[in-house]
Amino acid sequence: MDCSVPHTKISLGAWEITVDAVEQYLAAVGDKLPIYLASGAAPPLMLAARVVGRLLERLALPDGAVHNLQDVATLNAPRIGAPVSAEAQLEPARERGGMRFLTVNFTVTEDEGGLILIQGRTTILLPTDLRPADLLPTDTGPTDD
């Protein structure tokens, strides 16, 4: 799969929203609100964080890539215990002011029933010497865990 082609869909794998993962995320960000575990809903940003981490892996983004813009829209509350999967789609890279921007649209879906949980848009600032063709995935298949 060649991710240098705009609009190419990229699988970001599948995983389960476990209680352990939610607790690990909440501890990492210092969020002590009890609502998540009490209501059974994971923080939507936790899913977006996972997507951004996987984008870095899958797109072989250069080490100097910098997160510039982030949109996250929650369509349905992510349910703790749900199996989910994520897919991303690249927009054509663009240059402005001597900088190169890469924008990726993504969706995280609950596997049972296909309910869309979140949709997002991540824009990353890249070193200017990087060509779009350099943005190749590090492997060709989804990374389930």
Partner 1 sequence: MAAEAVIDSLSPREVGDTLPPARRAITRQAIDAYRAASGDNNPLHYDDEFAAATQFGDVIAHGMLTLALVTEMMTRAYGSDWLSSGNLRVRFRAPAYPGDLLEAAGRLAKREFTDNGLIVTCNVEVRNAHNGSRIITGSASVTLSPPTQGVAAE
* Rounded Cα gap, residues 124 and 119, in angstroms: 17
Residue 49 parent element (H or E)? helix 44-58
Answer yes or no whether residue 30 interacts with partner 1 by CB under 8 A: yes
Give residues 49-108 in contact with partner 1 (rule: CB under 8 A). 49-50, 52-54, 56-57, 61, 63-78
**Beta-ladder partners of 41:** 79
* Rounded Cα gap, residues 5 and 89, in angstroms: 10
* Rounded Cα gap, residues 81 and 101, in angstroms: 35
Closer of 5 and 67 to partner 1 (Cβ): 67
Q: Which stretch binds partner 1 (CB under 8 A): 3-11, 39-47, 85-93, 102-110?
A: 39-47
Question: Which residues of the shown chain bind partner 1 in the complex (CB under 8 A)?
Answer: 21, 24-25, 27-31, 33-36, 38-39, 41, 43-45, 48-50, 52-54, 56-57, 61, 63-78
